[in-house]
Structure 1
Amino acid sequence: MVHLRDKLLEVAVRVAAEAAELVESTRRSAVRDVATKSSATDPVTAGDRAAERLVRERLAELRPGEAVLGEEEGADGSGGDGVCWVVDPIDGTVNYLYGFPWYSVSVAVQLDGATVAGAVVEPSSGRQWSAALGQGATLDGVPLRASTTDRTELALLATGFGYRAERRTRQAEFVARLLGRVRDVRRTGSAALDLCMVAAGWVDGYVEHGLNRWDWAAGSLIAAEAGAVVSLPDSGELGGAIFAAAPGVADELRKVLLECGVADVL
């Protein structure tokens, strides 16, 4: 199984890096071809579509017959032995559209619904975050470790907001209550990279509602393998939010989030 995870991780990193190169090299033209999805503030660019096509083509070559779930084209394939690749071709499309250099390509592989390997690559910098189950997490080959903070009031949190105004309003009300209980809050616009920030200790925790599997499949494993405590949306612990935090503050931070109304945001 370890050998298989190594092979799967190698493919995830390779394919994500190739897609990231395409995303960055074509950005100027890609952002001129923009459509919308769930709302007028939820864009999809030619870069998103091209990157997902590339990932699907490369996976068909390298891992033929395995299922793929992608943000832009949905599910494809039956998934032999419960294997499914989960792809976000550009996580942080609004940032990509505006030229704000905080977006990523996320490629994960799941076995019976649980992530066993994943990679998150930043096109603008080329940085590669990756992890395999039970083998730790790295950034450009350097091992990652979540922060050692143990005081919730000094914890720096990352979060995100939804595309629809009604949800953003509820999220803003929740964050307003939270701000007095922690050091501060950061909102960057890429869930995958927010989870990687927890893994690196750049923030002490992260919470967000309304995410899809492709948003967190790779990043959640990277955070967990770096020692963070992670709760996935389907756990039901925080009203459908994803949560990742340094182990020294995770339990207390969960209590604070509940007291601030995290379970009521949806």
Structure 2
Amino acid sequence: MDKAKVLQAATAAAIKAGNLIKSKRLSGDFSLSFKSGVDPVTSADIESEKLIIDQLATIMPGTLILAEESSPTISTSDMLKPLWIIDPIDGTTNYAYNIPYCAVCIAYAERGEIQVGVVHAPFLNETYTAVRGQGAQLNGHTLIPRQTTELKMALVATGFKGLRQGTAREIAQLEAIMKNCRDIRRFGAASLDICAVASGRIDGYYETIKPWDFAAAALVASESGARVGSLIDYDAATGIPRELVGQEFFVASAGVYDKLRALLQVPD
């Protein structure tokens, strides 16, 4: 696997898909429906995902795919094989409501380890890229997280479950942040929140999310020097590779990672 070629292909596909969803949003040429409850999907999601899959198939035909809309499930054994992980629009609610904070995400993994990640935000004209062992960039510029070591200066982002599905633990976590940290933000696109830690815009982010939400961005964050993990201890018995576990996903700049993780580990 030539990582440079994989990055080139993933970046080209993400930008092409970004142009598509941007055009659809600006013209209003898309439809909105719901997969379950208030979990939205647009026709632009479907078209974007197909475009990406078709593009990637030209360079690595037959590679397994984990994608939010067309193939959202995969066996734990297949997670160890060469794998594309795709989110055609991360932040679909934002997209549907004409909020520009959304992104196209493409990651490539082997043996359960993320090798290449691309997060492209078409409305913000920002493209985050990372190759394992080679650092992370935003529009070609090296990313460096914030260097704060004090919780009181930490700006933290998160996301919430669907309507009226919040838990007492989530509320307790919010209270802990409000009492001990600089402030809290809720932007609505996990991948961009994770990349915001990498770029030094915020200091931490936590939420239970899916692999397509975080895979590409997690590599961007770890390659920038931020720390990526979970609020819960890794359980190898699940068979899910450590880097593809989204349960209570957590990322923070190195200086506050341990302190913030401890703060957020409130009881159920």
TM > 0.5 between the two?
A: yes
User: Using the alignment, how far apart are the partners of 2:79 and 2:157 within structure 1?
Assistant: 36
The equivalences for 1:22-37 within 5 A come to: 22-28=20-26, 32-37=30-35
Q: CA deviation at 1:127?
A: 1.1
1:143 maps to amino acid: T
Is there any run of 5+ residues in structure 2 with no aligned partner, and where? 236-244
User: Using the alignment, how far apart are the partners of 1:133 and 1:51 within structure 2?
Assistant: 26
Q: Which moved further from structure 2: 212-221 or 62-71?
A: 62-71
User: Using the alignment, how far apart are the partners of 1:90 and 1:122 within structure 2?
Assistant: 9
Residue pair 2:80, 2:112 contacting (<8 A) in 1 also: no
Q: CA offsets per residue over residues 183-218 of structure 1, 9 Å max, x none?
A: 101110000000100000000111112x11100000
Is there any run of 5+ residues in structure 1 with no aligned partner, and where? none
Q: CA deviation at 1:170?
A: 4.9
Residue pair 1:30, 1:45 contacting (<8 A) in 2 also: no
User: Using the alignment, how far apart are the partners of 2:68 and 2:253 within structure 1?
Assistant: 29
Give the equivalent residue in structure 2 for 1:250. Answer: 257
Given the two structures, how large is their TM-score scaled by the length of structure 2? 0.88
Give the equivalent residue in structure 1 for 2:111. Answer: 112
> Do residues 68 (structure 1) and 65 (structure 2) align?
yes
Q: CA deviation at 1:123?
A: 1.4
Given the two structures, how large is their TM-score scaled by the length of structure 1? 0.89
Query: How many residues are paired up?
Result: 257
Residue pair 2:79, 2:112 contacting (<8 A) in 1 also: no
CA-atom RMSD in angstroms? 2.5
SS of the counterpart of 1:125?
A: coil
> Do residues 18 (structure 1) and 27 (structure 2) align?
no
The structure 2 residue matched to 1:219, chosen from 201, 217, 230, is 217
Residue pair 1:106, 1:192 contacting (<8 A) in 2 also: yes
The equivalences for 1:195-214 within 5 A come to: 195-209=194-208, 211-214=209-212
User: Using the alignment, how far apart are the partners of 2:169 and 2:36 within structure 1?
Assistant: 18
The structure 1 residue matched to 2:36, chosen from 32, 35, 38, is 38
SS of the counterpart of 1:50?
A: helix
> Do residues 174 (structure 1) and 173 (structure 2) align?
yes
> Which aligned runs of 4 or more in structure 1 are off by greater than 2 angstroms?
28-32, 75-81, 167-174, 232-240
Q: CA deviation at 1:75?
A: 5.5
Give the equivalent residue in structure 2 for 1:143. Answer: 142
> Do residues 125 (structure 1) and 124 (structure 2) align?
yes
User: Using the alignment, how far apart are the partners of 1:174 and 1:234 within structure 2?
Assistant: 14
Identity across matched positions, percent: 37
User: Using the alignment, how far apart are the partners of 1:233 and 1:256 within structure 2?
Assistant: 10
Q: 1:90 to 1:30 in 2, by over 3 A?
A: farther
Q: Which moved further from structure 2: 234-243 or 23-32?
A: 234-243
Q: CA offsets per residue over residues 141-172 of structure 1, 9 Å max, x none?
A: 00001110011121111111112422367534
